[in-house]
């Protein structure tokens, strides 16, 4: 007999009431759609954003200290690639498992679980005694890292109306980029203050702070009103929506009557529904874009500091300074993307992002691979183009994925599709590390990035779906 706690791909989620397609239940999304962004949304984005900040911080910490760790444990670049990939394997599994739990038990407990997991194991990673132990501990840490952003993105999407959903969701996700930027800054301070042998451990220990965020989230974070209504918990959903409406009225906003929303696509969560005829095309499109985007993104992000040292001839701290510079550029581009998301739409942003990524890869391939230019300026030029181009897909894909599926499976779909990027994250560092160890060197790395970026461009142009200013219930049918 199938146990209650087990989920097979064809199983429905048991024993959780699903609301009927009643006017009362469909009223919740319609009321959310007409509420302008206000204090409720800002507090929600702030809480989720702090967690996502540390997700970005912990995700990139290994790149910041990779050169130091290679020397400290005396490992090869190929072995270092495996070390990096171990963390992404954990993220892949965490996205799948905790993402499914978020649709069954709620977005709030799944978010808290992810914070506790990666916060605790960030601290444990700081006392790693070998490269093997560090890799294993990072794999466990990755269970939380892989789930946090897709669950948080699902929750904030479900509280936003179509008019401003892109702007606010992308702006929230900028906190991930702040984390990416903070990691090398803290890394420079730690390495200079404590020396390389201890500094890398200090950096990892800082990543334990999400445990504090988890405590606050347990006390104050709201559950998704859309999810509560879908589960038949109308009274709880009403509490949150009424609070937002009251705050809007207190600010002098005259709320229009709720417009009839498209009925939500209903039913119970079936894990295999992602590949059902209604969703198969968009799932395959998203899987390809997620994989290709992060094959390039993680490949260059993890190894670029090392390339600055090995190919560009810089010291570790100088390489980290350039990493910070590129991070500042990428952070600025996130806000440009947020500004454009509801103006030009998701598909044009993705298209131009992949065009610029392809250009950056070509600069690296031609300059380093064909012309043999090995100074850091050429690497910096390629990295800057990567940063500008990659910002569009990396900052909109969580938003975009969550928009394309109904509430009953939104967290699972977002987590499952985003988990594909973990496969890329596993493969890319290993492949890049192996290519760097061959006679082809960095030129072949950039060539692989050219191919991946160009294929992603073709996929989004031919199969992308525009979601700008459409209600979630309309898009996901």
Summarised one tens digit per residue, pLDDT across range 366-414 is 877 677 777 788 888 888 898 899 999 999 999 999 999 999 899 999 9
Q: What is the pLDDT of residue 350?
A: 97
Check residue 16 and give its pLDDT: 34
Task: Say how many C-beta atoms besides its own lie within 10 A of residue 20's C-beta.
Answer: 9
CA distance 432 to 428: 6
pLDDT (0 to 100) of residue 371:
75
Domains of the chain: 23-251+271-470 (1.20.1250.20)
Low-confidence ranges of the chain (pLDDT < 70): 1-26, 260-271, 369, 439-440, 477
What does the buried/exposed string (b/e) look like for 144-164 if buried means 16 or more CB atoms within 10 Å of the residue's CB?
bbbbbbbbbbbbbbbbbbbbb
For 243-300, give the DSSP string: HHHHHHHHTT--PPPPPPPPPPP-S--BGGGGGSTTTHHHHHHHHHHHHHHHHHHHHH
Which pLDDT does position 326 carry in this prediction? 87
Take residue 278 and report the two structure tokens written for it. 């209604």
| Res 159: pLDDT | 96
């Amino acid at each position: 007999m199938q146990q209650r706690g087990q989920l097979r791909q064809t199983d429905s989620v048991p024993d959780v009431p699903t609301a009927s397609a009643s006017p009362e239940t469909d009223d919740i999304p319609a009321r959310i759609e007409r509420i302008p962004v206000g204090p409720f949304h800002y507090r929600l984005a702030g809480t989720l954003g702090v967690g996502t900040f540390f997700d970005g911080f912990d995700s990139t910490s290994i790149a910041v200290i990779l050169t130091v760790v290679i020397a400290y444990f005396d490992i090869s670049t190929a072995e270092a690639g495996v070390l990096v990939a171990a963390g992404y394997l954990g993220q892949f599994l965490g996205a799948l498992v905790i993402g499914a739990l978020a649709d069954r038990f709620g977005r709030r407990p799944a978010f808290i679980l992810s914070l506790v997991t990666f916060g605790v194991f960030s601290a444990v990673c700081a006392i790693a005694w070998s490269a093997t132990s560090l890799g294993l501990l990072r794999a466990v840490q990755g269970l939380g890292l892989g789930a946090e952003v897709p669950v948080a993105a699902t929750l904030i999407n479900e509280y936003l109306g179509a008019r401003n959903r892109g702007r606010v969701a992308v702006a929230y996700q900028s906190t991930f980029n702040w984390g990416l930027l903070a990691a090398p800054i803290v890394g420079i301070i730690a390495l200079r203050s404590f020396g390389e042998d201890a500094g890398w451990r200090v950096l990892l220990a800082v990543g334990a702070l999400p445990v504090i965020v988890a405590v606050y989230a347990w006390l104050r974070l709201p559950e998704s009103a859309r999810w509560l209504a879908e589960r038949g918990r109308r009274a709880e959903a009403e509490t949150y929506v009424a609070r937002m409406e009251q705050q809007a009225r207190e600010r002098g906003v005259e709320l229009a009557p709720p417009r009839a929303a498209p009925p939500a696509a209903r039913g119970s969560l079936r894990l295999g529904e992602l590949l059902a005829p209604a969703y198969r095309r968009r799932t395959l499109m998203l899987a390809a874009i997620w994989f290709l985007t992060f094959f390039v993104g993680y490949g260059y992000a993890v190894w670029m500091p090392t390339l600055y040292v090995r190919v560009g001839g810089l010291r570790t701290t100088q390489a980290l300074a350039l990493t910070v510079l590129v991070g500042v550029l990428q952070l600025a581009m996130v806000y440009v993307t947020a500004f454009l998301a509801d103006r030009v739409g998701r598909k044009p942003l993705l298209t131009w992002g992949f065009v610029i990524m392809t250009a950056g890869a070509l600069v690296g391939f031609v300059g380093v691979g064909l012309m043999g230019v090995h100074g850091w300026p050429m690497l910096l030029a390629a990295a800057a183009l990567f940063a500008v181009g990659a910002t569009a897909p990396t900052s909109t894909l969580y938003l975009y994925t969550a928009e394309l599926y109904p509430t009953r499976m939104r967290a699972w779909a977002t987590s499952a599709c985003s988990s594909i990027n973990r496969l890329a994250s596993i493969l890319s560092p290993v492949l890049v590390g192996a290519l760097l160890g061959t006679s082809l060197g960095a030129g072949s790395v950039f060539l692989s990035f050219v191919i991946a970026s160009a294929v992603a461009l073709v996929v989004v142009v031919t199969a992308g779906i525009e979601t700008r200013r459409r209600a979630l219930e309309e898009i996901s049918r």
